[in-house]
A = this chain, B = another copy of it.
């Protein structure tokens, strides 16, 4: 006699399904039919993880896999501090805390800077999971739209300032941006920094793709002057080491109160994965060569993907300079329908392409309906095939939909 009168919470009902992952069941279905699916929907690079990671894990020296320090393995904190120093970012080990992926760093930062009902300003399209993190933490995201025609760069500073309210606690930027690949300029960053100073706001910056910059220089939040108490850097080792499964990230701030809060939140969940911290420590020691190779490879991939994209009549996109994503406007009126259709109804020589529909990267309802995120995480030959399948798909879909 089961009771069906129990209801899940309202906020739980409001949680969005991930646009990156929600089509996975459709993909699983077509794979069963023998169709090959090119996964341009998810930022899972195919680059082998550093050998040093696996070597370290194989020779883990203890026979009990114990809890680690809540703030992270002390040797890892030192290594991360040294890693930042190489990137011209000066932070002490005590200004860093290891988190369980970049995701946890973002959640901790949101909890630390804003109360339930407080506002954090974001620029859309943004990393889709910020929506879920906002629901989890009760924070209200205030989105400012950016446009494909402008390479998804920031709107004029006056437009941003207009949106600041007494409830605004922070501005949150992802740089290089996921999903757009946009690398923000020094002028853009300084504009935001000035607003943060003027209105006493925190500045949160998600810099997971720091190394993935193909033209120009990456300006970190930590390079901005006079922002020591307000800057909270969020980071992860998943992408730069092709260690997505390792769930090791960090939160960085020179604001002692922020670090105290992060530690208390960290104590509540005990520690980040011990073995994978041990592996990332080894990977960090090997760092530089690995990064350089990755960057070159991804630059080629960006170029191939962009070139193929530009062959699609009606596609709108300014070539992005960073991360491993391209967000583009495609000539389809309903991208959700199109992305599903690519899986359920279309294939070319037994293959099809999976993309992440745009609307999930927006908080404003109705935006992104013709946009998609393409993750160029496959080798160039596969990418070329995947993009041509996408182009052909758009062609066939357009004709079919006109008929109907």
- Encode contact with B along A268-301: 1 for CB under 8 Å, 0 otherwise: 1111111110010000000000000000000000
Q: Is A169 an interface residue (CB 8 A)?
A: yes
A73 → chain B, closest Cβ, in Å? Answer: 10
Q: Is the CB of B64 within 8 A of A47?
A: yes
Q: Is the CB of A257 within 8 A of B47?
A: no
Tell me how far the C-beta of A191 lies from the nearest C-beta in chain B, rounded to whole angstroms: 16
- Among the listed B15, B57, B70, B116, which residue makes an inter-chain contact with A265, where contact means beta carbons less than 8 Å apart? B15
Tell whether, in the assembled complex, residue A275 and residue B57 are in contact, meaning their CB atoms are under 8 Å apart. Answer: yes
A269 to B99, CA, bound (A): 12
Stretch from A237-245, A312-320, A348-356, A391-399 contacting the other chain? A237-245
For A41-64 the 0/1 string (1 means CB < 8 A from B) is 010111111000110011010011
In residues 97-117 of chain A, which contact B (Cβ within 8 Å)? 100-101, 103-104, 111-116
Contacts of A268 on B, CB cut-off 8 Å?
15, 18, 103, 129, 132-133, 136
A293 CB, nearest partner CB in chain B, Å:
14
CB neighbours of A1 from chain B (8 A)? 226
A54 nearest in chain B by CB position? B60
Interface string of A1-21 (1 = CB under 8 A from B): 111111011111001111011
What separation, in Å, do the CA atoms of A251 and B359 have in the docked complex? 30
Question: Which A residues have a C-beta under 8 Å from some C-beta of B?
Answer: 1-6, 8-12, 15-18, 20-22, 42, 44-49, 53-54, 57-58, 60, 63-68, 70, 100-101, 103-104, 111-116, 118, 129, 132-133, 136-138, 169, 196-197, 200-202, 226-230, 242-247, 255, 257-258, 261, 264-265, 267-276, 279
